[in-house]
Amino acid sequence: GAGVSQTPSNKVTEKGKYVELRCDPISGHTALYWYRQSLGQGPEFLIYFQGTGAADDSGLPNDRFFAVRPEGSVSTLKIQRTERGDSAVYLCASSSGRGGETDTQYFGPGTRLTVL
């Protein structure tokens, strides 16, 4: 596709429910990143995929959060037993994965998650 797309754009759920957020990266990009952005703050790193594998998941806050990228393209961020503190905008980005200073991350529009 032309850019990174994320679905849904908005998700409202109740405390304790399970949610899945989807990211479609730019075609051909091997690197994919998930970030979480709370109101008035900059994005915080969650997890980085190179291909199908999670190369760095050090930003995941706890074991309720999990992400997959089974075919090295689309990724799904999964949150179990959601809590009100999980409410935020979840941003996905992708890059060529070649590294170096020109390896720009391109961001999707985000999914706004609200946990009631």
Partner 1 sequence: KNQVEQSPQSLIILEGKNCTLQCNYTVSPFSNLRWYKQDTGRGPVSLTIMTFSENTKSNGRYTATLDADTKQSSLHITASQLSDSASYICVVIGLSGGYNKLIFGAGTRLAVHP
Q: How far is the CB of 61 from partner 1 (least distance, A)?
A: 16
Site string for partner 1, 28-67 (x = CB under 8 A): ---x-x-x----xxxxxx--x-x----xx-----------
Can residue 91 be called a binding residue for partner 1 (CB under 8 A)?
A: yes
Q: How far apart are CA 34 and CA 93, in angstroms?
A: 6
- Long-range CB pairs of 79-85, under 8 A, 24+ apart, other chains included: 79/18, 79/19, 79/20, 79/21, 79/113, 80/18, 81/16, 81/17, 81/18, 82/13, 82/14, 82/15, 82/16, 82/17, 82/18, 82/19, 82/113, 82/115, 83/15, 83/115, 84/15, 84/115, 84/116, 85/115
Output 4 or 115, the one with its CB closest to partner 1: 4
Which of 14, 42 has the CB closer to partner 1? 42
Question: Least distance from C-beta 11 to partner 1, angstroms?
Answer: 14
Among 34, 108, 113, 115, binds partner 1 (CB under 8 A): 108
Task: Give contact residues for partner 1 (rule: CB under 8 A).
Answer: 4, 31, 33, 35, 40-45, 48, 50, 55-56, 91, 93, 95, 97, 99-105, 107-110
